[in-house]
Amino acid sequence: MASFIRLVSHTPELQFYTAHRLYSSLSEDLSQETLTLASVWILGEFADVLLQGGKFDDGEEAKQITDSDLVDLLEMVLNSPYANTLVRQFVLTSISKLSARMSELSTPGVGIQQDRIAVILAGFSSNLELEIQQRSVEFGSLFTKNEIKAGVMERMPPPEIRATMMGTGKLHPPVIAELTSSERAQTCWLDENRQRLDCRPHWR
């Protein structure tokens, strides 16, 4: 997952497509933990890119994703029976970053969605998991500190890329993970030109 995130962070032309594709994949399946973690991280980090809309490489107009859609999905992940402590930590961070991205863009429903996010964070402020509780309280307090919120939640600098070279001289397509369930497995990777994200299921 780390190599995938590094490549997306270093490839601006890939960020909209990847965020849109992962939004769609996560909306359909919350049971794959690694895909969930990668999706939640990307959606929080590049929410502004996704909310501004765009086209895919083939010229196809992408379905517009709204701030409400993103909050709905992240809340659904939080309430999913598949959500463990790590997933919830990722989501609380992602939804807080989403709050900052919406403020930067001044999206039409920003006020309503900010209130929703504040309520979601407050709901975990007394969670029995200490890490969840601490993260919820810390992020919730940022809502009252607008002068530092944007700086704390700004996009992370792209991490250093350490490419793995294959015998062919080409970059090995970075795999997010092989995501498995009791019957189905799914592998997600970037193509060798880093232009498309492919997620293909295969049956056991």
pLDDT of 148-189, one tens digit each? 776 777 777 776 655 443 333 344 444 444 433 334 444 555
Element (H, E) at 186: strand 184-190
Given this model, what pLDDT does residue 159 score?
Answer: 67
Q: How confident is the model at residue 198 (pLDDT cuts 50, 70, 90)?
A: low
Q: For residues 118 and 189, give the distance between their C-alpha atoms in angstroms, rounded to a whole number.
A: 34
Q: How confident is the model at residue 204 (pLDDT cuts 50, 70, 90)?
A: very low
Given this model, what pLDDT does residue 203 score?
Answer: 42
CA-wise closest residue to 98 among 50, 144, 34, 29: 50
pLDDT higher than 60, residue 68:
yes
Q: For residues 103 and 108, give the distance between their C-alpha atoms in angstroms, rounded to a whole number.
A: 10
pLDDT of 69-89, one tens digit each? 999 999 999 999 999 999 999
pLDDT of 49-61, one tens digit each? 999 988 877 667 8
Q: Supply the mean pLDDT for the chain.
A: 80
Given this model, what pLDDT does residue 188 score?
Answer: 53
Element (H, E) at 133: helix 130-142
pLDDT higher than 80, residue 90:
yes
Q: How confident is the model at residue 199 (pLDDT cuts 50, 70, 90)?
A: low
CA-wise closest residue to 20 among 72, 68, 62: 62
Give the mean model confidence (pLDDT) for residues 19-36: 94
Q: Which residues does residue 89 pair with via DSSP β-bridges, in sequence order?
A: none
